[in-house]
């Protein structure tokens, strides 16, 4: 049995890496049928349902089945993240009461910082969707620029996922059609947070809003993305001089990432937890 479990894990790792979801799910189900008393089969399938299939309610059920067989950290964490993903799904459906109850449940049963945990388990796309729901619902406060700068400095190359809010103090563009929205008038200021809108995002913004993103100067924006510390080299004659400084960028590739104005007013939570709004700049270590 130990050999079969090892083979399953190798096959599943390959199928997931190749994004062959149908074959992966069949393999998870075959392993569960063959070895239903093995907690990790339930927990691994819960991860797949959460991170690859976007079926968080089923992920909650399988994570609970795993925990009923064995209390281990991975299943506990997947269960917690799946509760937040299910809240996000309820928010997307537009049912106010169901969303509020799902939020109260997630906050009570999974009092974690959901964004960094979603990033840890499921990666960027799922994390972006969760942050979008948290911003659009008003359930998560935006980080101020200086906190984002510090978080990006600690996060390394992966960047710090978050919701960032500031008044645009300066704008700029380059020859490639990229637009920059800065929290400080001097974009070289180490306190500055710079939203970097790709050419495609700029074109989409103009189509949707009938204005250039640089018209956002002086207005408040709330942005979903990853804050990353970027090294900027000084050059002379097209060659680096050895001198450099750092900027903190949030890349925007889709116009929905930028909301004009602060996050919406917070909706009530029925008999909710003591904290009905979340904000953090922390990330999971390790």
Rounded to an integer, the average pLDDT of 126-149 is 95
Share of the chain above pLDDT 70, in %: 92
pTM of the model: 0.87
Q: What is the 3-state secondary structure (H, E, C) of the chain?
A: CHHHHHHHHHHHHHHHHCCCHHHHHHHHHHHHHHCCCCHHHHHHHHHHHHHCCCCHHHHHHHHHHHHHHCCCHHHHHHHHHHHHHHHHHHHHHCCHHHHHHHHHHHHHHCCCCHHHHHHHHHCHHHHHHHHHHHHHHCCECCECHHHHHHHHHHHHHHCEEEEEEEECCEEEECCCCCEEEECCCCCCCCCCEEEEECHHHHHHHHHHHCCCHHHHCCCEEEEEEEEEEEEEEEEECCEEEEEEEEEEEEEECCHHHEEECCCCCCCCCCCCCCCCCECCCCCCCC
Which tokens sit at 254? 């889709």
Residue that wins the pLDDT comparison between 265 and 69: 69
pLDDT in tens, 253-283: 999 999 998 877 665 554 444 344 444 444 4
Phi, psi of 282 (to 5 degrees): -80, 160
Residue-level pLDDT at 229: 94
Task: Write down the pLDDT at residue 7.
Answer: 76
Q: Tell me what pLDDT residue 274 has.
A: 39
248 pLDDT higher than 70: yes
**Does 212 or 238 have the greater pLDDT score?**
212
pLDDT in tens, 19-29: 899 999 999 99
What would the two tokens of residue 146 be? Answer: 């200086």
Q: In order of start, what are the domains of the chain with their CATH numbers?
A: 2-136 (1.25.40), 142-260 (2.40.50)
| Mean per-residue pLDDT over the chain, rounded | 89
Q: What's residue 158's pLDDT?
A: 87
Q: What is the pLDDT of residues 87-134, one digit of tens each?
A: 999 999 877 888 999 999 999 999 999 999 999 999 999 999 999 999
């Amino acid at each position: 049995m130990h050999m079969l479990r090892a083979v399953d894990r190798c096959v599943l790792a390959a199928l997931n890496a190749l994004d062959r979801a149908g074959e992966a799910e069949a393999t998870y189900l075959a392993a569960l049928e063959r070895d239903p008393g093995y907690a990790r089969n339930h927990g691994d399938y819960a991860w797949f349902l959460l991170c690859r299939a976007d079926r968080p309610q089923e992920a909650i059920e399988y994570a609970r089945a795993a925990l009923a067989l064995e209390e281990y950290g991975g299943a506990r964490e997947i269960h917690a993240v799946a509760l937040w993903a299910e809240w996000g799904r309820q928010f997307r459906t537009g049912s106010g009461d169901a969303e509020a109850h799902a939020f109260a449940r997630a906050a009570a049963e999974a009092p974690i910082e959901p964004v960094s945990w979603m990033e840890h388990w499921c990666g960027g796309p799922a994390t972006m969707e969760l942050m979008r729901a948290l911003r659009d619902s008003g359930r998560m406060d935006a980080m101020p620029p200086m906190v984002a700068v510090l978080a990006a400095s600690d996060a390394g190359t992966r960047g710090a996922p978050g919701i960032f809010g500031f008044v645009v103090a300066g704008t700029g563009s380059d020859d490639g059609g990229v637009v920059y929205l800065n929290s400080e008038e001097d974009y070289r200021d180490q306190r500055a947070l710079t939203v970097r809108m790709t050419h495609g995002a700029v074109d989409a913004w103009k189509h949707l809003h009938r204005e250039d993103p640089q018209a956002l100067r002086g207005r408040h924006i709330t942005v979903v993305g990853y804050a990353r510390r970027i090294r900027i080299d000084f050059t002379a004659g097209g060659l680096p001089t050895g001198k450099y400084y750092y900027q903190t960028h949030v890349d925007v590739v889709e116009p929905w990432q930028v909301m004009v104005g602060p996050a919406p007013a917070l909706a009530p939570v029925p008999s909710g937890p003591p904290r009905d709004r979340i904000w953090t700049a922390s990330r999971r270590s390790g």
